[in-house]
Each structure stands twice: as structure tokens, then as C-alpha cells.
Amino acid sequence: MLIKEVTAKSILSPSKIYPWVINPYTGCAHKCSYCYASFMKRFTGHLEPWGDFVDVKVNAAELLRKEILKKNPAMVWISGVCDPYQPLEGKYQLTRQCLELLAQHGWPVTVQTRSPLVVRDIDILKLGKDWQVGLSITTADDGIRKLFEPYAPPIQARIDALEKLHQAGIHTYAMIAPMLPGSEDLPELLAGKVDTVILDRMNYNHSTAIYRRNHLEDKMTDEYFAMTSTILRSAFTRLGISCQQV
Ligand code: SF4
């Protein structure tokens, strides 16, 4: 893993999904096989495979302190093309510093991560107005998780993190994206721990080999995703949890 401290030119960027996005890191050590952000590699100048390098934007908070005064307050997505709580956040605390500033200035925030490290920042997350925190949880089966996301935290640790956040009074959501085999069993595990759920199918080509190698081809068809989506939507609705598909 190549880790480099870099000085970024800006940090609060426009996004197509939410008005603003903050990526305190370039690259992501979670290295999920289907990572939708891997296209970013060509803009980084790195020759290493996606997942084998992380640039740490050590001046992230310093930039945000200035940029937040010049831009219009609107929803900020943390993060778009990296996990803001990947392991290096434990040391650098860049996400935490950015959240502190956003809370001080009253900006709305959506946090999205696969890491239970997010609970470290419950003290700040509780301060935000119109804030929500989501954990991406793609399957209930940790064996399947290890096939597709071997470097990301275990599923149970993510569920426990959601529970702690929810108990702290923070609006929580689960991002079941992509719906991996075993995602059908998530509703009962997430009951009482999330306010909303977002579903998405696997529409990235990168994981085809993993499906084939593990004889899971029948779990990567349009029919499978449609059926799983129907099962999940109806189960979450029964639990009183709103469910949307992107
Ligand atoms: S956590 Fe997100 S950004 Fe990081 S490798 Fe996985 S899908 Fe990509």
C-alpha cells in the first residue's frame, strides 16, 4: 500500500449526486472488487492498481475553513470516491475535522461509509442539523463479503455501528448497494437500527470473475436483482422502514 501525504488545491467540490462532496482521501484501502470509484485512478497519476494507493489530503480542514465561507450551504456528501472512514482516518482524522467545521457552520451532511470507525465521531455527528449517516451493507453473509470486499470491515461490525448511531439519535440509513448474494437476509438484522434503506443492483463489470469463480452466476442476472429488490422492499416496508431504489 502506497500512502502519500499531499496538499490539495480544493476540498468542497460540486457533485452530481448531492450539491457538494468532500473526499479527504484520494484512493481507498477497502479495495472493493466492484468499486464504482475506480475510474478515478486515471486522474491520479498513480500506476498502482486502485486500492493499492491512498493520497492523504493533509490540508483538507484548512481548505474547508476558507471554502465554506465562499460557497452556498447545501447538502455535503462525505464521501463520493473514497471511504471517509477507511483505516487511515484513524490516524489523520481529516473527516472528523471537516465534520467539525460543517457542524459549526450548520451545513447539512450525508456520511457514507463501510467502516465502524464512524462511531468514534458520534459526538460531532449528534451536533449536525439535517445530518444522516449511512453504512454500506451489501450482504448478510460475511463469507460472501470476504469474496467481494475482503479488505472492508465485517458485516456485523457495520450493523453494530448502525445500532450505536441510531441509539445516539442520529438519522441512519443502510446502503444495500450492490445487492450481493445473501442481501435478502438483511431486513431482520437491520430492524430497529436504520430509518431508511437504499437499494442498488450490481451494474459494474469488475466482479464478474468473482461470481464465475464461486459459481454464483445465477446471482448476477437481471432476474436475480429484480427478485431481490422485490423481497427487500416488501420486507422493509413490513418493518416500517422506508426503502428506495436508485
Ligand atoms: S469503500 Fe467505497 S470507495 Fe472504497 S473501495 Fe469500497 S466501494 Fe470503493
Tens-place pLDDT, residues 198-246: 999 877 667 899 999 999 999 999 999 999 999 999 999 999 999 998 8
**Atom 8, ligand 1: which residue's CA is nearest?**
35
Beta carbon of 125 within 6 Å of any ligand 1 atom: no
If you ran DSSP here, which 8-state letter would residue 161 be given?
H
153, 237: one domain: yes
106, 164: one domain: no
The answer to whether 169 and 126 have CB atoms below 8 angstroms apart is yes
100, 21: one domain: yes
CA 136 – ligand 1 centroid, Å: 9
99, 67: one domain: yes
| Residue 123 DSSP SS3 | helix
Last residue of a domain, one of 112, 129, 146: 129
Q: Can you list the positions of beta strands (E) in 129-203?
A: 131-136, 171-176, 196-199
195, 164: one domain: yes
The grid coordinates of residue 70 equal: 465562499
4, 35: one domain: yes
Of ligand 1's atoms, which has the minimum distance to the CA of residue 113? Answer: 1
| Residue 22 DSSP SS3 | coil
CA 152 – ligand 1 centroid, Å: 8
* Domains held by the chain: number: 2
Query: How much of the chain, in percent, has pLDDT values that exceed 90?
Result: 91
How much is the pLDDT for 165? 98
Alpha carbon distance 208, 4 (integer Å): 31
Of ligand 1's atoms, which has the minimum distance to the CA of residue 114? Answer: 1
Residue 245 sits in a domain whose CATH number is 3.80.30.30
How much is the pLDDT for 139? 98
The grid coordinates of residue 195 equal: 430509518
Last residue of a domain, one of 129, 144, 176: 129
The answer to whether 206 and 33 have CB atoms below 8 angstroms apart is yes
Going across the sheet that includes 25-26, the strands are 2-6, 53-57, 25-26
The model's confidence at residue 177, banded by pLDDT at 50, 70 and 90, is very high
CA 149 – ligand 1 centroid, Å: 9
118, 144: one domain: no
Residues sharing a CB contact under 8 Å with residue 140, sequence separation 6 or more, in sequence order: 155, 182, 183, 184, 185, 186, 189
140, 204: one domain: yes
What pTM did the predictor assign? 0.96
Q: Domain residues for 42?
A: 1-129
**Atom 3, ligand 1: which residue's CA is nearest?**
82
104, 8: one domain: yes
112, 231: one domain: no
Antiparallel, parallel or unpaired: β 2-6 and 53-57: parallel
The model's confidence at residue 65, banded by pLDDT at 50, 70 and 90, is very high
How much is the pLDDT for 204? 64
CA 238 – ligand 1 centroid, Å: 30
First-last CA distance in the chain: 33
The residues with which 134 forms a beta bridge, in sequence order, are 112, 173
7, 99: one domain: yes
224, 105: one domain: no
CA 113 – ligand 1 centroid, Å: 8
Last residue of a domain, one of 79, 101, 129: 129
Beta carbon of 35 within 6 Å of any ligand 1 atom: yes
